[in-house]
A and B are shown apart, each in its own frame.
Chain A
Amino acid sequence: MSNKVIYAIYNDDDTLMDAVKKTRAAHHHIEEVYTPFPVHGLDKAMGLAPTRIAICAFIYGLVGLSFGTFLMNYVMILDWPQDIGGKPSFSYIQNMPAFVPVMFEETVFFAAHLMVITFYLRSKLWPFKKAENPDVRTTDDHFLMEVAIHDNENELVSFFQGTGAVEVKVIEKHD
């Protein structure tokens, strides 16, 4: 089955934003947009769902806080409650101020690192990943919108030519 897509290429982020809005208004499904830098408001224009990574980070932070608390409680209170310089090790709460720096750092450590790893997993990024770049210029100064074709090639090409694209290409995808 042929899997044709249109690559509409723009050289200005304002034109791109207009084109995205027009494409959405015309009910063409945007597969992907490639830009050399973050375009403010692009996700809203495309109608992408907001990210939930902050919620993940909050939960990871709670995990880190629990881990820090467990660690200090087990090591300092349960396993070997020594008298170190007169600090009360009878219960966790009695010596808690001394553990707060550890609890805080564990919270931040877990929240930050697990959030970054989550980001890599969800974005499918890793060191030897093959770059998915449809056109090398999109990392420099061009913007590219990819739209799938469903037996309406001519209509779509003329539509994108009308949106200020500097180049409109029809590509057969093999994957």
Chain B
Amino acid sequence: MYTFSSKLKTFSFILMVVGVLGIGYGFLNAPKTTEDVEKILAAEEHHGGGHHVAPAQANHAVPAHEAKAAAEAPAVAHDTSVVAQAESVHDTVASVDTTKVAEVVAHEAPKKEKVVTEAEEHAAHQAHLEHVLHQLQNKPWSAVYVSCIFFLLLTMGTLAFYAIQQVAQAGWSPVLFRVMQGITSYLPVGSVLLLVFLIAGGLHMHHLFPWLGEGVTDPKSPNYDEIIAGKSGYLNFPFWIIRAIVFLLGWNLYRHFSRKNCLAQDEANDNSFYKKNFNISAMFLVFFIVSESIMSWDWIMSLDPHWFSTLFGWYVFASFFVSGITTICMITLYLKGQGYLEHVNTSHIHDLAKFMFGISVFWTYLWFSQFLLIWYANIPEEVTYFVTRIEHYNLPFFGAVAMNFVFPILILINTDFKRITWVLVMAGTVILLGHYVDFFNMIMPATVGDQWFIGAPELGALMFFLGLFIFVVFTTLTKAPLLPKRNPYIEESKHFHY
């Protein structure tokens, strides 16, 4: 039997407390009114370096410019770049060039002043502030949402892996079943938290899902959105929340009965519980692949309700599947290091590492397939998804590929490295952080846009859910022996050697 080390327990409590403080700080610091936003933007203008100064000037120094910019989004990029260019040219090249570019800017400014009246200017400025206000108000909520869904889906990745091992009658993994069951014990907790979060969206406590906004389906409302209205047969709150409840219930039921049968099999005289587990695992996998796909549309893709992608479900699956396997590996290594998993040898670890490696590549394959197809065809309706990400999330967007593909492929390709604990812990940490960033990239651009930052609320939420995860998982690990007794494959698994 495993005993929860008091150090780890304290550590998980500290994570939760610090995390709650971070989340609370995020909520308290979110602006309440457009006046607050104006102050924040002004402060940013003061503190910003050369990079920030140029757009700020484009927006504020020339009012006409700014109004036009707010009215037409593509114009922002263009105008800003002209000003930025003018500045950089000023710094480096001869003054002849500077006057030329300055002339261009000077030419453009009066042209727009003719078009835009004072009143329109003010309205556009207010609309811009309103837009930024919503993004900043979304920030702490999004921070919580990213971590909440990341840890929930990470346990689902583990559960899917576990079910596959059962159905495939894998001879190597039964010694790890209790570890996997320990990880999936976070599922009920995570499900409740996520459900509360989704219901809060329906109650308009947060505005992460634009299609839940008021008046979007009403043709008389100023918020009317024809595209969303056309999708409201699918994207409406009751149907959406019922789907969420059905999926979470289905997953939790499988997890509950699978664990129960596994424990009952320990005390049984025949293999009937094992067979039951085999059957429910097969049924679960069918249910899972359908529900997972729909889940990814409901909980992640619907944050961008104007955008769609057919392989999105697979892509999300690959992301949390590899996170789940990595978590199994990390927790196995921890327990092994503490001397609790007598029958786990380096061959088991090696197999897990191979899965980490393979599924990392699989994730990259899907990431790239989705990106390449949309980039190549460049259909405006679809491509905005990547335009916003590359423009405003350049480092996280490509950094995720480096962390989830380049790093693991170079580290885990070596057979010897796949057996070395510290290499795996390092690779696993990078993979898990990489997939957190992956979820960050999927969620944040839709909710906070270019106002993103990985600061107190984001790290706080990550710490809170990590602490909760550690507490729940390791508490469950103490509840049952770490070695299943009467699994038909347990002997083979104990002597597994690769």
A-side interface residues toward B, CB under 8 Å? Answer: 54, 58, 86, 97-98, 100
Inside 8 A of B368's CB, which chain A residues have their CB? 97, 100
Are B378 and A100 within 8 A (Cβ)? no
Per-residue A-contact encoding for B367-404, CB less than 8 Å = 1, 0 else: 01001100110100000000000000000000000000
Select A86's contact among B371, B372, B378, B413, beta carbons within 8 Å. Answer: B378
In the bound complex, do residue B378 and residue A97 qualify as a contact, i.e. CB atoms below 8 Å apart?
no
The residues in B between 342 and 372 inclusive whose CB is less than 8 angstroms from any CB of A are 368, 371-372
Q: A97-B372, A98-B376, A100-B372 are in contact. List 4 more A-B contacts (CB 8 A).
A: A97-B371, A97-B375, A98-B372, A100-B368
Least CB distance from A97 to B in Å reads 5
**Measured CA separation A99–B391 after assembly (Å):** 22
Are B371 and A58 in contact, CB atoms less than 8 angstroms apart?
no
A91 to B349, CA, bound (A): 43
Chain B interface extent, by class = under 10
In the complex the two chains form, is A58's CB within 8 Å of B378's CB? no
Chain B's closest residue to A98 (CB) is: B376
A86–B383 Cα distance when bound, in Å, is: 15
Q: How far is the CA of A86 from the CA of B413 in the complex (A)?
A: 38
Which 4 residue pairs are nearest across A and B when measured between Cβ atoms? A97-B372, A97-B375, A98-B376, A100-B368
Kindly state the separation between the CA atoms of A58 and B372 in the bound complex, as whole angstroms: 26
Q: What CA separation (Å) do A58 and B413 show in the bound complex?
A: 9
Task: Tell me which residues across on chain B come within 8 A of A98, comparing CB atoms.
Answer: 372, 376
Please list 12 pairs of residues, one from A and one from B, whose beta carbons are closer than 8 Å in the complex, sorted by A's number: A54-B415, A58-B413, A86-B378, A97-B368, A97-B371, A97-B372, A97-B375, A97-B376, A98-B372, A98-B376, A100-B368, A100-B372
Q: What chain B residues lie within 8 Å of A97 (beta carbons)?
A: 368, 371-372, 375-376
1/0 per position for B392-430, CB-CB distance to A under 8 A? 000000000000000000000101000000000000000
For the complex, give the distance between the alpha carbons of A167 and B74 in Å.
86
Residues of B within 8 A of A54 (CB): 415
Q: Which B residues are CB-close (under 8 A) to A58?
A: 413
- A87 nearest in chain B by CB position: B376
The docked-state distance in angstroms from the alpha carbon of A58 to that of B375 is 30
